[in-house]
Amino acid sequence: MDKWLMKGQNKEDSPKLERKRKPEKETSEASTSSIEVEYAVPIPSSSLTSVGLATSESNNPQTKKIKRLNKFNDLWLQEPNFLSWLCKDSKMKDGNDLAHCMLCSVSIIAHKSDLIRHMNSDRHKKKSLEIQNIPKISNYLPVMDLEINVRKAELKLAGALAENNIPISFSDILGPLCKEIFADSVIAKNMNLHRTKAMAIINNVLGNTFLEDIYEKLRGEKMFFSLIMDETTDQSSLKQCCFTAVVYDEKTNKVEHLFLDMVELSSGTAKGLYDCLHQMLRNKNISIENMVGFSSDTTNVMVGEHCSVFALLKKDLPHIALVKCSCHMIHLSSSKACLKLPRNVEDFFAFCWSSLQ
């Protein structure tokens, strides 16, 4: 060691060469102590000598210690000898990388000679023999893949029923039909979709997921939207209110109409409807400040001048625009026009329309 320390003082010697020589010396030093170096985390401070201290003799304290940091080489992971047990340890010690033996659950200094020594140790060989008879987890993966594919098939079929307004009861026929047609398909064989399951998938899985996607879109900071609101009374005399958002989507470059919610109403007054609208947006954590337009039918409770839902909205949002529903207006004007015609003409067209449905 004295020799190369002395040579390092010679100006003719290349500094790069000096640096190269040191690890060779250190490697041999580290390898002599590497059995003690193998440890479970945390690392004893005494083992730091293996980290490559290019030290001079300890009886010369004035000599400067040069520390070389060990780095984990990713190419080791591809070597056949290390492939089955070696991985990089996420922990580090004083800037040095650590390797990890997955069989023995120990951390080893990221130095190839130490890795080889560990591989040849009795402890590691014993562990290697023990796991040879244990089946690999990859043997079970095809089963998991099949389950996932079966679930995907059930989701897609239930989604297709909902998207095309096909009665959910049709799934009682569709499921067995798929099994019969695709007799050689393992997925079709394992699929089990009837009306109860299809209804549960649509309501609890697909519906909630798609609605949450819509709400997330409207929660954007500059996602301005208009709201279409309509009230109806169902067969059980229960008042309900439906909300649809109209929004421009920059990603698809299209104006989209998104169904937001349909809620039961406790009161059909302007204040009751206004509170219902506020509550609906609040529940979904959508800011009413981003609402720039309002549309509804032309009833007084909705768009009347003094006490209506729009009048109350106008107090909160002075910039809001009102567009009365064109469909309702066409319907009203058509009805008024039809009054000038014999009644049976309107009845005839109403009959034709209902027959086409």
| CB of 103 vs Zn ion, minimal distance in Å | 5
Residue 69 CB, shortest distance to Zn ion, in Å, is 23
Instruction: Tell me the number of residues near Zn ion by CB under 5 A.
Output: 4
Are the C-beta atoms of residues 46 and 35 closer than 8 Å to each other? no
Considering the rule CB under 5 A, would residue 103 count as an interface residue with Zn ion? yes
**Closer CB to Zn ion, residue 93 or residue 124?**
124
Q: Which is nearer to Zn ion, 103 or 276 (CB)?
A: 103
**Is position 98 an interface residue for Zn ion (rule: CB under 5 A)?**
no
Taking CB under 5 A as the criterion, the residue among 86, 104, 150, 157 binding Zn ion is 104
Using the rule CB under 5 A, give the single segment among 75-83, 96-104, 152-160, 197-205 that binds Zn ion.
Answer: 96-104
What DSSP designation does 352 have?
H
Site for Zn ion in 108-147 (CB under 5 A): 124
Residue closer to Zn ion by CB (options 128, 299) is: 128
DSSP H or E stretch at residue 146: helix 141-163
Is 47 in contact with 37 (CB distance < 8 Å)?
yes
For residue 88, which amino acid is it?
K
User: How many other CB atoms are found less than 10 A from the CB of residue 108?
Assistant: 22
Least separation in angstroms between residue 126's CB and Zn ion is 9
Tokens of 243: 């909300």
Q: Which is nearer to Zn ion, 91 or 331 (CB)?
A: 91
**Backbone angles phi and psi of 166, in degrees to 5:** -90, 135
- Cβ atoms of residues 309 and 350 within 8 Å: no
Q: How far is CA 124 from CA 38, 106, 127, 307, in A?
A: 12, 10, 5, 83
By CB under 5 A, name the one of 37, 51, 99, 101 that touches Zn ion: 101
Q: Which residues bind Zn ion (CB under 5 A)?
A: 101, 103-104, 124
